[in-house]
């Protein structure tokens, strides 16, 4: 995968249609709190946790992060005509942690649904990879992810830097068919527009790390 250069890569045929249909049914029946945008902390669901350990996904993660890579967080994004939103250009810098330790380079801190979070430095985020399983076709019309290639290499950016970056970096649309997987680094600058379609755009976003330990006594929480 060209992820080391671009910060993202697409595998178009990973899961078969029956597997995706089964996963959709499992998520629909899961007793997890839902927000307008989907489901946070989905690793609490046994079916999602089992999928995250699927050999195909683990193989992708281990090819980038090393042989000890493991899943630690899952989020369902459920964009539809009745739950539609846009996301401005940003990086994914907050990580779930087992406990709060005031450590240089970490913060601000917060608590989301009982889970402790801190914004992490680039050194920690470089040990993380997200795999986005597409439960529907992602098209130009239903608010696909857009990325600024190779921006995962320039560190954690300020709001002003994020605002200026799209003016000098060409964006790429990540169009992924149902059953495909998009791999991306958390520091890759990305955004998405509102959907202009009646078709849903459901994505199960699973994050993997090279190690449970992040240094300075900090450890990831499974969420």
Report pTM: 0.96
Tens of pLDDT along 7-48? 999 999 999 999 999 999 999 998 888 887 889 999 999 999
- Asked if 202 contacts 24 with a C-beta cutoff of 8 angstroms, the reply is yes
Domain 3-195+214-219: homologous superfamily in CATH:
q2cbj1_9rhob like domain (2.60.120.620)
Give the residue from 208, 146, 210 showing the smallest Cα distance to 174: 146
- Asked if 1 contacts 178 with a C-beta cutoff of 8 angstroms, the reply is no
> What is the average pLDDT across 105-120?
97
Confidence of residue 4 (pLDDT cuts 50, 70, 90): confident
What ranges do the domains of the chain cover?
Answer: 3-195+214-219
Predicted local confidence at residue 86, as pLDDT: 87
> What is the average pLDDT across 173-196?
96
Predicted local confidence at residue 1, as pLDDT: 58
Place of tokens 């992040």: 214
């Amino acid at each position: 995968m060209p992820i080391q250069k671009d910060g993202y890569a697409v595998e178009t045929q990973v899961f078969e249609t029956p597997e995706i249909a089964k996963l959709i049914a499992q998520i629909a029946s899961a007793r997890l709190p839902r927000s307008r945008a989907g489901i946070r902390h989905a690793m609490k669901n046994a079916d999602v946790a089992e999928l995250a350990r699927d050999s195909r996904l683990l193989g992708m993660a281990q090819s980038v992060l090393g042989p000890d890579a493991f899943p630690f967080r899952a989020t369902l994004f459920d964009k539809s005509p009745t739950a539609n939103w846009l996301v401005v250009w940003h990086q994914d810098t907050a990580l779930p942690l087992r406990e709060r330790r005031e450590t240089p380079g970490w913060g601000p801190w917060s608590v989301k649904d009982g889970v402790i979070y801190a914004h992490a430095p680039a050194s920690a985020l470089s040990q993380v990879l997200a795999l986005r399983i597409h439960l529907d076709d992602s098209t130009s019309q239903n608010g696909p992810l857009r990325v600024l290639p190779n921006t995962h290499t320039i560190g954690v950016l300020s709001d002003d830097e994020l605002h200026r970056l799209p003016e000098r970096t060409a964006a790429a649309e990540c169009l992924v068919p149902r059953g495909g997987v998009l791999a991306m680094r958390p520091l890759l600058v990305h955004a998405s527009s509102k959907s202009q379609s009646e078709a849903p755009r459901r994505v199960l976003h699973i994050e993997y790390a090279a190690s449970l330990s992040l240094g300075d006594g900090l450890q990831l929480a499974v969420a």
